[in-house]
Structure formats: C-alpha cells, structure tokens
Amino acid sequence: MRAAPASPANGRGQAWQTFPVTAIDEAARRALVRRGFALEWATLGWNVVGIIILAIAAVAARSVALAGFGLDSLIEIGASDTALAAAPPPDPGA
C-alpha cells in the first residue's frame, strides 16, 4: 500500500492516506446487485403510487403545495429510471 504524493491542497504538505478496498466474492457481489435492483424497483413503485395519490389530493384540495410535491416525486421517478437504465442488469442465473 502506497500513500499518494504530498498535496499542497491540504496546506501542511502531508501525504494522503490510502486504504485497501475490501474485496468480496462474486456470489456476494451478485446478491448485493440483486438487492440494489430490488430496492430501486421498490422506490420506483412507491413514487408512482405516491404521485397518483398526490395528484388526486392536489386536485381535491386545490393545493399548489401538493402539486409541487407531486412534481418532486415525478423528478424522483426520472432519477430511478435513469439509475435502472444506467446500471448493468443483475445476472439472471445467479
């Protein structure tokens, strides 16, 4: 393990410390990827249900605040879609 060269950014001329990355076996990595995808799909579903409920409530209450909160949920749906599209799918055989 090597330390990076001294950086003038820290002002004291001290070297940065580096730490080893923890390695996990392939089965554990696949399990974590599956869990991450499951959580992302659950988040997406929760936000879709939430935006439907918020849209109904905003119209019924004539509330701009509820409509704004619904738009925030719409942005979160877009973020979930982007995360699911950008990440490689989990291995189906695992």
Tell me the C-alpha distance between 90 and 41, whole Å: 13
The phi-psi region of residue 18 (left if phi > 0; otherwise alpha if psi is between -120 and 50; otherwise beta) is: beta
What's residue 12's pLDDT? 60
Report the distance separating Cα 18 and Cα 2, nearest Å: 7
Q: What pLDDT was estimated at residue 39?
A: 94
Structural domain spans, the chain = 24-86
Q: Summarize pLDDT for 6-47 with one digit per residue, the tens.
A: 555 555 656 677 777 778 888 888 898 899 999 999 999 999
pTM assigned to the model: 0.66
Residue, of 10 and 59, whose pLDDT is higher? 59
